Amino acid sequence: MLEIFLKTLPFFAIIGLGYGAGRAKFFTPEATGYLTKFVFYFALSAMLFRFAANLSLSEILDWTYVGAYFWATALIYLIVTAVAFARKLSVEEAAIEAQCSVIGNVGFLGVPLLVLLMGEAAIGPVMLTLAVDLIFFSSLVVILITGSRDGRMSLALLKTVGIGLIKNPMIVSIVLGFLWSAFKAPIPQPLNDFLSTLGGAATPGALFAIGASLASKSAERMEVAIWLSFSKLILHPAAVAVSALWLFTVDTYSASVMIAAASLPVAGNVYMIAQHYGVAPARVSASILISTAVSVLSVSLVIGWLT
Q: Give the list of residues 6+ apart from residue 215 with CB closer than 8 angstroms, or none.
A: 18, 19, 20, 21, 22, 23, 27
Model confidence pLDDT, tens digit, residues 185-241: 788 899 989 999 999 998 899 889 988 888 877 666 688 999 999 999 999 999 999
Q: Is the pLDDT of residue 278 over 80?
A: yes
Q: What is the pLDDT of residue 104?
A: 93
Cβ atoms of 282 and 220 closer than 8 Å: yes
Does residue 77 lie in a domain region?
no
Q: What is the pLDDT of residue 218?
A: 66
Torsion of CA 111, 140, 59, 201, to 10 degrees: -20
Q: Domain range for residue 38?
A: 2-69+104-306
Does residue 299 lie in a domain region?
yes
Q: What is the pLDDT of residue 213?
A: 86
Q: What is the pLDDT of residue 143?
A: 84
Cβ atoms of 220 and 246 closer than 8 Å: no
Main-chain phi, psi angles of 185, to 5 degrees = -95, 130
Does residue 226 lie in a domain region?
yes
Q: Regarding predicted confidence, which is higher, 185 or 177?
A: 177
> What span, in angstroms and rounded, lies between the C-alpha atoms of 173 and 177?
6
Q: What is the pLDDT of residue 108?
A: 83
Q: What is the pLDDT of residue 152?
A: 59
Does residue 194 lie in a domain region?
yes
As a whole number, mean pLDDT of residues 261-273 equals 90
Which of these, 70, 78, 75, lies nearest to 97 by C-alpha position?
78
> What span, in angstroms and rounded, lies between the C-alpha atoms of 273 and 38?
19
Q: Is the pLDDT of residue 260 over 90?
A: yes
Cβ atoms of 92 and 144 closer than 8 Å: yes
Confidence category of residue 153, pLDDT binned at 50, 70, 90? low
Per the structure, how many domains does the chain have? 1
Model confidence pLDDT, tens digit, residues 13-39: 999 999 999 999 999 989 988 998 899
As a whole number, mean pLDDT of residues 236-251 equals 95
Supply the mean pLDDT for the chain. Answer: 88
Q: What is the pLDDT of residue 111?
A: 87
Confidence category of residue 271, pLDDT binned at 50, 70, 90? confident
Does residue 84 lie in a domain region?
no
Does residue 236 lie in a domain region?
yes
Q: What is the pLDDT of residue 305?
A: 87
Does residue 88 lie in a domain region?
no
Does residue 90 lie in a domain region?
no
Q: Regarding predicted confidence, which is higher, 219 or 278?
A: 278
Q: What is the pLDDT of residue 20?
A: 94
Q: What is the pLDDT of residue 86?
A: 96
CB hemisphere CA count around 152 (13 angstroms): 3
Q: What is the pLDDT of residue 33?
A: 87
